[in-house]
Amino acid sequence: MPLALLILALSAFAIGTTEFVIMGLLPDVARSLSVSIPAAGWLISGYALGVALGAPVMAVATASLPRKRALLILMSIFILGNILCAVAASYGFLMFARVITSLCHGAFFGIGSVVAASLVPENRKASAVALMFTGLTLANVLGVPLGTALGQAAGWPTTFWAVAVLGVLSLIGLWRAMPIRHDEEKADLRAEFGQLRSAGLWAALSTTMLFSAATFALFTYVAPLLEDVTHLSPHGVTWTLFLIGLGLTIGNVIGGRLADWRLGAALIGIFLALAVVTSLVRWTSPGLIPVEINLFLWAMVSFAAVSGLQVNVMIFGKAAPNLVATLNIGAFNVGNALGAWVGGLVISAGLGLRAVPVAAGALALAAAATMLLCMRLADNAGDADDDAPLAAVA
């Protein structure tokens, strides 16, 4: 794999860390800025909203630029946003800084995945995208706990200074290692937006959204599930989250290889497996060993789909790779919010925490159904010959 791919993974690590580390720092931020925990929690929602709404805007704004220059600009915005977070002295300013930081997220992952795929032969594209997204999984395994520990020891602004340094290293790496592609086609905004008329593209984006909802319906409530049903201590929950992070990382690598083999078959199989392992948490959650094994397998299966889903939308949006890949990142974030809402709805209805995995499993089955629709639409549009991996099991 080219060095540029490792730099993209480092960039993904930095972006993933700044997105999720705020969860571990919420109590410190709330005390420092004299706001409630729920109000501090809106810093997470504000970031996700910035990703979902800012992704297509930034994709269009950078459409006419060479991809290397676009990535450099987006990483510069990321560095600026984290510096603003580090110097924020009020809740409102910190919210503003978080939104600024989020603007780079969707477009960077969207354009970066297109660049990653362009750096390798055709039969390794999904693996290349998976390598980039490994940085995101490692952010959950290493970046978040280390960033939380640093913020608790030296003050939460220190964490954002550290992430800004990671951003600077990524910026230098992108500048030095990223090749300049003189054969890049100039973006045609009319063609980019014209691609949005594709029913297959919207089916692919819906698949991403439903998959993400299936994952985050459980992930959002896994800590209270472990504490209230499995009766784990907060320390035990921390170690379980670390175990989940390892599963996410392993699943990301395996999923990239499966998607390179047969994209459509791989995603359908992953969604069906996700429905099973997610639903099983309802019955394994009372026992420590069974639920630990179950959650590790769940993490592997869930993140095995990420790179394949990114390649899936890129297949349907050939005329607008930057825009559709970026929209897919937005679909992931919409799914995150949808999954959290569905899980909360189940709990509010009085069904209890153990009903959440079943609802999440149903969302995974819905993702499998929309993936079948994707394959059928590709076949009907005459794309089966060009995109054999997608339509292989149609």
35-68 residue pLDDT tens:
876 677 678 778 878 888 887 788 778 877 888 8
Q: How many other CB atoms are found less than 10 A from the CB of residue 372?
A: 18
Kindly give, in sequence order, each residue whose CB lies less than 8 Å from that of residue 182, ignoring residues fewer than 6 positions away.
none
For residue 234, pLDDT beyond 60: yes
pLDDT in tens, 321-344: 667 777 888 888 788 778 878 888
Supply the DSSP symbol for 32: H
Dihedral sign computed on CA atoms, order 348, 349, 353, 355: negative
Tokens found for residue 314: 């890129």
Read off the tokens for 376: 């059928």
Q: Is the pTM for the entire model greater than 0.75?
A: no
Q: How confident is the model at residue 389 (pLDDT cuts 50, 70, 90)?
A: very low
Choice between 200 and 275, residue whose per-residue pLDDT is larger: 275
The residue type at 370: T
What structural domains does the chain harbor?
3-187 (1.20.1250.20), 192-391 (1.20.1250.20)
The whole-angstrom separation of Cα 15 and Cα 73 is 14
Is pLDDT at 386 greater than 60 in this prediction? no
The mean of the pLDDT values for the chain is 83
Query: Where are the strands (E) in the chain, listed by range?
Result: none
Q: Residue 199 in contact with residue 36, Cβ under 8 Å?
A: no
CA atoms within 13 A on the CB side of 88: 29
Please state, in angstroms and rounded to a whole number, the distance separating the CA atoms of residues 66 and 349. 50
